[in-house]
Amino acid sequence: MIKLKDLLSPLTLNEGVYDPGILKCIFLAGGPGSGKSTVANEIFGIGKGLTTVSYQGLKSVNSDTAFEAQLAKNGIDGKELARIEKEDPELWNKITEDPDGIRKLAKKTTDKIKAFYEAGRLGMIIDGTGDDVEKIQRQKKEAEDLGYDTFMVFVNTSLEVAKHRNSNRQSRRLPDDLLLGSWKECQNNLGKFQTVFSSANFRIVDNSKDGNNVTSNTRKHIDTFVNSPIKNIIGKKWVTTQLMLRNANIIK
């Protein structure tokens, strides 16, 4: 396991209660091929990378990025995943299901990084597919129990566009059956997510067309969310406690 200190930016280690984006958690959801990475760049100014940081100070948490890195480390071309699933089920199982396999290792690495961010209540962007409502509900509750305010950006696209983007990806390509299943689940969950998150803290980005599909109104709402005072009562108490400890020279 790569040491966390080698994965985290030195700037992250010096952050604290005064830093931008603290106690703000944004969930970025959308099916495979929806173009979440592009939208993340348009909204937050972040690119690909295990520890990318948005201009608002939010840290990206993305197990897929760690997964792709582990594939490359093990000499597996992500573009071959669809073929591997069909032609080499044993290798496919080792990649996706083995407790010591690539997918599980990537998740463990990402979980450790996420836990580090949470310890300092640093702002986060949780990047996921959105095909599991219960999982995101659980993550949302866990974040709010720590004091975070939460928000969701749902990146939507047509099935045809999702298939086209998946087939033209330069890195990891999903098998068609997995892509279709995930896309359908995301569509079915869209209304549920609107219920889980309040209307003020939920935005949909239709990313079916090429180019910049993030409206100025969406950017405004997200910036307002990130820059507004913390609303979560648990988060407010955490900040108060941290300031008291600093003033007493107990922590720096």
Mean pLDDT, the chain, integer = 84
Could you count the other beta carbons within 10 Å of the beta carbon of residue 213? 18
Alpha helices in the chain (DSSP H): 4-7, 10-13, 36-44, 63-73, 81-87, 89-96, 102-119, 133-145, 159-167, 176-196, 216-227, 233-247
pLDDT of res. 235: 96
Poorest-pLDDT segment among 75-84, 96-105, 128-137: 75-84
Give the domains, in start order, of the chain with CATH numbers: 20-63+117-247 (3.40.50.300)
pLDDT of res. 252: 59
Q: Output the CA–CA distances (angstroms, integers) from residue 10 to 7, 13, 20, 120, 207, in the order listed.
A: 9, 5, 16, 14, 34
Identity at 12, one-letter amino acid code: T
Q: Assign 206 to helix, strand or coil.
A: strand
Poorest-pLDDT segment among 15-29, 103-117, 180-194: 15-29
Are 29 and 155 spatial neighbours (Cβ–Cβ below 8 Å)?
Answer: yes
Q: How much of the chain exceeds pLDDT 70, in percent?
A: 89
- Structure-model confidence comparison of residues 52 and 32, the more confident one: 32
Would you say residue 12 has pLDDT above 60?
no
User: Pick from 131, 111, 150, 109: which is nearest to 32 by CA?
Assistant: 131
Would you say residue 243 has pLDDT above 80?
yes
Q: What is the 3-state secondary structure (H, E, C) of 70-100?
A: HHHHCCCCHHHHHHHHHHCHHHHHHHHCCCC
Would you say residue 211 has pLDDT above 60?
yes
pTM for the whole thing?
0.82
Are 243 and 17 spatial neighbours (Cβ–Cβ below 8 Å)?
Answer: yes
Would you say residue 251 has pLDDT above 70?
no
Q: Assign 175 to helix, strand or coil.
A: coil
Q: Output the CA–CA distances (angstroms, integers) from residue 58 to 20, 34, 50, 73, 121, in the order listed.
A: 8, 22, 13, 27, 11
pLDDT of res. 50: 44
Region 207-212 average pLDDT: 84
Q: How much of the chain exceeds pLDDT 90, in percent?
A: 37
Are 43 and 222 spatial neighbours (Cβ–Cβ below 8 Å)?
Answer: yes
Would you say residue 108 has pLDDT above 70?
yes
pLDDT of res. 239: 93
pLDDT of res. 7: 44
Torsions phi, psi for 204 (to 5 deg): -105, 135
- Structure-model confidence comparison of residues 171 and 72, the more confident one: 72
pLDDT of res. 13: 39
Region 187-206 average pLDDT: 92
pLDDT of res. 6: 47
